[in-house]
Amino acid sequence: MNLSEIYPYKFTPIYIEKIWGGRNLERLFGRELPPDVSIGESWELADLDLGASVVSNGPLAGTSLTELTRRFGAGLLGSAKPLDNGRFPLLLKLLDANDILSLQVHPDARAAAEIPGAALKTECWYAIDSRDGYIYKGLAPGVGPEQFREGIENDTVAKLVRRYDLAVGDFHYLPAGTVHAIGPGLVVAEVQTPSDTTYRVTDWGRGREIHVERSMQCIHFTPVDDTSPGAEGDTLLVTEFFTVSRHAVGPDAPYATPAGRCVAVMLLDGGDVEFRHSGPVEQLTLAAAGDTVVLPASLPGGSIRSSTGCSFLEITLPASA
């Protein structure tokens, strides 16, 4: 392993146009977005057939996340394992909702095994920006399959799901099988398992395809514990797939990242952020609010420092998977 190739990696965002998207990543983070389109998703860290992130800094600039995972294996992932297809086991996005997303659901392991081509998708959202934003998450108490199907047919399904108003800093866990939607006025950081399998319950009359039968197959109609397991102190969520924590550091107060673990950092605010390490070949990585940086498990003495202070989400892969 060439030591000069082990350093904190930044990646070029992959922008996805959506009918519900907007331009708020320009306003919040100074992004240069593709002109004249509504950007709904920025894939910050992705390794899917539909798009794979590419390193944008240092000696490995131009290398895909697919190739990093193949070449470095445990040097990148630690004791976590790649997916069965050899790809990176995490997907990170920024979502900009200027209109409501479809009411939708993702399959759990059981449903994914039953549906050809489907993949489990569990996710969580952290609200970065809210302009009277809200989400739908989970069924209203007592709602069963028959009543829910009638709500789809009668276009009254919004009355059968729970609504939450969101402020900046609010966090929600959405385990697979949870029916949900993001309402207008929100920008969220999304941490999820690497799957793009989505079934729409309703698209609010916009004419896109809906998937009633697949949705009914996936939705959990028994009560689902959607509280954040393992939440304590800075830790927001612990799942078998990833752990999410939120940290804030003061000006010039270095934060030591977890040793021996693959860590992804989504910067929420702050400027002049430096990612350093104690390896023999120094590769200083500079970042700012809105950036996502990955620190390989084999990186020695990783740390984060900002002259102005900063806050960030720290996403770690499990010690074993």
Catalytic residue from among 23, 131, 200, 261: 200
Q: Is the pLDDT of residue 108 over 80?
A: yes
Query: Which of the four pLDDT bands, split at 50, 70 and 90, describes residue 3?
Result: confident
Q: For the residues 249-257, what does the mean pLDDT come to?
A: 94
Alpha carbon distances (Å) from 125 to 32, 94, 183, 244, 319 = 24, 9, 13, 10, 23
Query: Which of the four pLDDT bands, split at 50, 70 and 90, describes residue 1?
Result: low
Q: Is the pLDDT of residue 15 over 60?
A: yes
The model's pLDDT over 194-224, given as tens digits with 9 standing for 90+, comes to 999 999 999 999 999 999 999 999 999 987 7
Q: What is the pLDDT, as a whole number, of residue 223?
A: 76
Domains of the chain in start order, with CATH, are 3-218 (2.60.120.10), 235-316 (2.60.120.10)
Would you say the C-alpha torsion 289, 71, 196, 245 has a positive or negative sign?
negative
Helices (H), ranges, 135-189 = 145-153
The percentage of the chain sitting over the pLDDT mark of 70, rounded to a whole number, equals: 99
Number of other residues whose CB lies within 10 A of the CB of residue 207 = 8
Cβ neighbours for 158, distance < 8 A, ≥ 6 positions apart: 103, 136
Q: What is the pLDDT, as a whole number, of residue 319?
A: 78
Q: For the residues 144-158, what does the mean pLDDT come to?
A: 96
Predicted structure pTM score: 0.96
Which region holds residue 71: left if phi is over 0, alpha if psi is between -120 and 50, else beta?
alpha
Query: Which of the four pLDDT bands, split at 50, 70 and 90, describes residue 230?
Result: confident
DSSP 8-state secondary structure symbol assigned to residue 116: T
Q: What is the pLDDT, as a whole number, of residue 257?
A: 96
Q: What is the pLDDT, as a whole number, of residue 222?
A: 86
Q: Is the pLDDT of residue 12 over 90?
A: yes
Residues 122, 239: Cα–Cα separation, whole Å: 9
**Is 200 part of the annotated catalytic residue set?**
yes
Q: What is the pLDDT, as a whole number, of residue 227?
A: 82
Q: Per the structure block, which two tokens stand in for 311?
A: 């806050």
Q: Is the pLDDT of residue 320 over 70?
A: no
Q: Is the pLDDT of residue 321 over 60?
A: no
The model's pLDDT over 16-33, given as tens digits with 9 standing for 90+, comes to 999 999 999 999 999 999
Residues 258, 273: Cα–Cα separation, whole Å: 18
The percentage of the chain sitting over the pLDDT mark of 90, rounded to a whole number, equals: 90
Q: What is the pLDDT, as a whole number, of residue 71?
A: 96
